[in-house]
Amino acid sequence: MKVYYLPEIEIYLSELIELLYKEEYFSFEEQAVEYVERLKQYIENTIKTAYKRKSPEFFSRYGKDMQYVVYKANTHTSWYIFFQQRDDVYLIRYITNNHVSAQYF
Dihedral (Cα; 68, 53, 87, 47), 10-degree rounding: 50
Q: Give residue 67's pLDDT band: very low, low, confident or very high (50, 70, 90).
A: very high
For position 55, which CATH number holds? 3.30.2310
Instruction: Kindly tell me the burial class for residue 71, based on how many C-beta atoms sit within 10 Å of its own C-beta (0-12, 13-18, 19 or more).
Output: buried
Convert the pLDDT of each residue in 84-94 to its tens digit: 999 999 999 99
Q: Give residue 7's pLDDT band: very low, low, confident or very high (50, 70, 90).
A: very high
Q: Which domain holds residue 75?
A: 2-104
Would you state the pLDDT for residue 37? 98
* Domain count across the chain: 1
Estimate to the nearest angstrom the gap between the alpha carbon of 19 and the chain centroid: 15
Please give the full DSSP string across 7-22, using - where no structure is assigned.
HHHHHHHHHHHHHHHH
What is the pTM assigned to this prediction?
0.94
Q: What is the mean pLDDT of the chain?
A: 97
- Please give the average per-residue pLDDT across 11-36, as a whole number: 97
